[in-house]
């Protein structure tokens, strides 16, 4: 009675936070998982948190912002598992916050490169193998953010990258539907992960007051939505940007 039996999922950013929770919940739902992260050690740590079967899960050290690394990873996954992935989740992401008037060009480029270009490269490389394989239902899930829709002080680079991911997702959905590939974006709100651990306590409390449900979300609350989107139960959802924010929309 599991949601993702027979699925092979590639999860970028799988070494931490939301990506790690996605790997765990996908494994619980019966998927095989390729855990991809810039930091191979943390991807391997994720493996150790998954159910006992070793052959169903593998770790890959990949920089999603580098085209050659992404294509090499996708063919390695294909070779290692002996099958084409039917699910991909793009959860790799970084922040380099500063006010617009103070932000240096490098911080802008770095965030766009990982969050937006990295998502593009993985959608393209995975889309190529999925479309060639003529499968009945594939699902690509791009983790954007509510700030891609609403903006957030100190995050011109990050909110631009996430707005870009939403646009990319909607176009990819239109182009890939003829190959039975659905593409959706998930827009988390304020989630308790290593990424938000650096937010000062008083700022956290202020944000929590703004959230209608009055608390941060957990990585698992994002991962559950991804599991639904990865499964055939969401077969009529594509090109959607789904907010998972406890009601927060600034
Ligand atoms: P996190 O920092 O805990 O995890 C991000 C992971 O991405 C890390 O393991 C990191 O090593 C990996 N990564 C970074 N650059 C990479 C690269 N170039 N190639 C491959 N992997 C790379 O952060 P998180 O909070 O779990 O965030 C996951 C995703 O969710 C990100 O896209 C983030 O922007 C998004 N998001 C998070 C929140 C939040 O409140 N935490 C809110 C909205 C959206």
Percent above pLDDT 70 for the chain: 100
Identify whether 158 is a catalytic site residue.
yes
Q: Which residues have C-beta within 8 Å of that of residue 68, sequence separation ≥ 6? A: none
Residue 75 in this model has a pLDDT that exceeds 90: yes
**How much is the pLDDT for 52?**
78
> What is the residue with the minimal CA distance to atom 31 of ligand 1?
93
Alpha carbon of 91 to ligand 1 centroid (Å): 6
In angstroms, the Cα distances linking 233 to 72, 175, 220 are 31, 21, 19
**How much is the pLDDT for 36?**
99
Alpha carbon of 1 to ligand 1 centroid (Å): 30
Q: What's the average model confidence in pLDDT over 223-240?
A: 98
**Which token pair is 156?**
């011109």
Confidence band of 54 (pLDDT split at 50, 70, 90):
confident
**How much is the pLDDT for 79?**
98
Q: What's the average model confidence in pLDDT over 218-231?
A: 98
**How much is the pLDDT for 136?**
96
Q: What is the pLDDT of residues 91-112, one digit of tens each?
A: 999 999 999 999 999 999 999 9
Atom of ligand 1 at shortest range from CA of 146: 43
Taking the complete model, does pTM exceed 0.80, yes or no?
Answer: yes
**How much is the pLDDT for 181?**
98
Ligand 1 pocket: which of 12, 14, 17 to mutate (most atoms within 8 A of CB): 17
Q: Residues enclosing ligand 1, CB less than 6 A?
A: 12-13, 15-19, 37-39, 42, 62-65, 91-94, 114, 118, 143, 145, 188, 190-191, 193-196
């Amino acid at each position: 009675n599991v949601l993702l039996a027979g699925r092979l999922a590639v999860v970028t950013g799988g070494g931490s936070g939301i990506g790690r929770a996605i790997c765990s919940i996908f494994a619980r739902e019966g998927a095989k998982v390729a855990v991809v992260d810039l930091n191979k050690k943390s991807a391997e740590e994720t493996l150790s948190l998954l159910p006992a079967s070793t052959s169903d899960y593998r770790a890959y050290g990949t920089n999603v912002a580098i085209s050659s690394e992404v294509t090499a990873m996708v063919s390695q996954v294909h070779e290692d598992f002996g099958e084409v992935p039917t699910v991909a989740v793009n959860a790799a992401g970084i922040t380099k916050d500063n006010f617009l008037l103070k932000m240096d060009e490098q911080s802008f480029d770095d965030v766009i490169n990982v969050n937006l270009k990295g998502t593009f490269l993985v959608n393209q490389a995975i889309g190529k193998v999925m479309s060639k394989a003529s499968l009945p239902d594939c699902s690509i899930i791009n983790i954007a953010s509510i700030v891609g829709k609403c903006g957030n002080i100190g995050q011109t680079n990050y909110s631009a990258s996430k707005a870009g991911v939403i646009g990319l997702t909607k176009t990819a959905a239109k182009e890939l539907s003829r190959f039975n590939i659905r593409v959706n974006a998930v827009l988390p709100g304020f989630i308790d992960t290593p990424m938000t651990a650096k937010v000062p306590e008083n700022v956290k409390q202020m944000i929590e007051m703004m959230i209608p449900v009055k608390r941060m979300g957990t990585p698992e609350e994002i991962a559950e939505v991804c599991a639904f989107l990865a499964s055939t139960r969401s077969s009529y959802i594509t090109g959607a940007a789904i907010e998972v924010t406890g009601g927060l929309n600034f």
